A and B are shown apart, each in its own frame.
Chain A
Amino acid sequence: MSIWEYANPKKFITSTERVLPALWAASALCIGVGLIWGFFFTGDEARQGATVKIIYLHVPAAMLAINTWVMMLVTSLVWLVRRHHVSALAARAAAPVGMVMTLIALATGAIWGQPMWGTWWAWDPRLTSFLILFLFYLGYIALWEAIEDPDTAADLTSFLCLVGSVFALLSRYAVNFWNQGLHQGASIFRAEAVIGTDTEEKVSNIFFYPLMLCIVGFVLLFVALVLYRTGTEIRARRIKALMARERVAA
């Protein structure tokens, strides 16, 4: 029993179809409970008031925005090395999800930033990097759409993802250097922030548990979306292959 068995498209579709309903349900449950808990059963934060509650959307979306790209990088590498079609298609399926997550992170950030910083947008390094990440998603998706031959498209987008990852990291460093910003550090998983020794930037426990629930929910939602979309891509590929077969046979 190896993980590569699921690289067979047929096996992939049949097995994911079995777990998908559970995934949808679990993610809806986590996000629903997390949001209701977070919005209605936790107090307002001392300095930020009720505005802080947007973290239940902002933080999970931002985490997924970055990690989706990492996932695409891994699946692209798997495609380039092992030539499993499902892997390349999973990267293709994940890209729009990652792009939407980036958009959600940017939009919720703007809505949060308006009352807190007094502006919808600032050229803060974190915000700028997310905007740049959005541009990378845009280019990646556009390249997939532009190329006719599926294998060529998979190869070229994989290379773009590979090279793009290096340049995205460089951009992240570059914008940090270019402008020190307003945004607080990512404080969710810093031990001091959680236990509360770092009083400046701590995320207190009341907010922490519903937030964790939302993060888990978003991750489950992401997995479900990617599996579902990969299944769709596989079927589209199959149709394309069958049509090509017809043409050859004719």
Chain B
Amino acid sequence: MSLVITDLCIARGGIPVLDGLSFTLEPGQALILRGPNGSGKTTLLRTIAGLQPPISGQMEGGEDTIAYAGHSDGIKPTLTVTENLTFWASVFGTKSISNALKAFDLELLCDRPAGELSAGQKRRLGLSRMLVTGRPIWVLDEPTVSLDVKSVAMFATAVRAHLGQGGSALIATHIDLGLDCEVLEVGPFKAKPPAIEDFDGGFL
């Protein structure tokens, strides 16, 4: 399943931030989004994940194929690592969480309440959720925040394995993951501020 984005225009708080964005994400491929803070990467990923509607443009192939991970991991501190993962596994209708635990080296932690984990361990738990969703397209927003070098490598390995199985990944990140993939700079797609005289329904 490939994700096709055509001429997408997205807005944050009613103000267009990125315009004219087009790309295709084929199975087995990863795409890194780069751009300065506030350039609209998070908005773009949320739009692609279906959390907010775009202003214009088409997105194809994204329905029920995307697993999204944002800045927060959605982890319940009073549930154990296993309980947290099992919950998401059953929401997405998959069975096994052992792969996910293994890929992110969480096996020793699996009976600990998630609230007792360190920030990096929590992040690993959040990322391991992607593996239990069973969905082909991963949409990840700053996945490596608070991860150490070893964990970043662990994450890169998981992404590579996912790509190897015909999955794809769209990642907004500032660091080099060592993946063999294309990089999309969002800077050139910055939306031009609308003309000031044009005073219509949108007030801009």
When the two chains form their complex, are residues A245 and B194 in contact, meaning their CB atoms are under 8 A apart?
Answer: yes
Distance in angstroms from A237 CB to nearest chain B CB is 5
Contact between A8 and B201, CB atoms less than 8 A apart? yes
B4 contacts chain A at the CB level, 8 A cutoff: no
Tell whether, in the assembled complex, residue B203 and residue A238 are in contact, meaning their CB atoms are under 8 Å apart.
yes
Interface centre among B191, B193, B200, B201 (most CB of A within 10 A): B201
CA distance A247 to B193 in the complex (A): 10
Smallest Cβ-Cβ distance to A10: which chain B residue: B199
B11 CB, min distance to chain A CBs, angstroms: 10
Q: Determine whether B36 belongs to the interface, using a CB cutoff of 8 Å to chain A.
A: no
Q: Please indicate the chain B residues that have their CB under 8 angstroms from the CB of A149 in the complex.
A: 13-14
The residues of A that contact B203 with a CB separation of less than 8 Å are 9, 85, 234, 237-238, 240-241
Residue of B nearest to A85 (CB): B201
A238 (CB) vs chain B CBs: closest residue: B203
Q: Which residues of B contact A83 (CB under 8 A)?
A: 201
Given contacts A245-B193, A245-B194, A248-B193, contact A9 B14 (CB under 8 A): no
Given A9-B201, A84-B201, also A248-B15 (CB < 8 A): yes
> Does A145 reach chain B (CB closer than 8 Å)?
no
B13 partner residues in chain A, CB cutoff 8 A: 149, 244
Distance, CA A234 to CA B196, complexed state (A): 16
Q: How many B residues face the partner with a CB closer than 8 A?
A: 14
Interface positions of A from 139 to 194, Cβ below 8 Å from B = 149-151
| Interface status of B145 (Cβ within 8 A of chain A) | no
Quick check: B15 and A245 within 8 Å, CB to CB? yes
Query: Which chain B residue shows the least CB distance to A86?
Result: B201
Chain B 71-101 interface residues, beta-carbon cutoff 8 Å to A: none
Question: When the two chains form their complex, are residues A8 and B200 in contact, meaning their CB atoms are under 8 A apart?
Answer: yes
User: Which of A10, A245, A248 touches B200 (beta carbons < 8 Å)?
Assistant: A10
Query: Are A249 and B193 in contact (CB-based, < 8 A)?
Result: yes
Does B178 touch A at the CB level, under 8 Å? no
Chain B contacts of A66 at CB under 8 A? none
Which residues in window 159-204 of B have CB below 8 A to A?
A: 191, 193-194, 196, 199-204
CB pair B14 A150 closer than 8 Å: yes
Contact residues, B1-55 vs A (CB, 8 A): 13-15, 17
Neighbouring A residues of B199 by C-beta, 8 Å: 9-10, 238
Report the Cα distance A24→B122, complex, angstroms.
Answer: 64
Residues of B within 8 A of A249 (CB): 193
A residues within 8 Å of B by Cβ? 7-10, 83-86, 149-151, 234, 237-238, 240-242, 244-245, 247-249
- 10 additional A-B pairs beyond A9-B200, A245-B193, beta carbons within 8 Å, are A8-B201, A9-B199, A9-B203, A10-B200, A85-B201, A85-B203, A86-B201, A149-B13, A149-B14, A245-B204
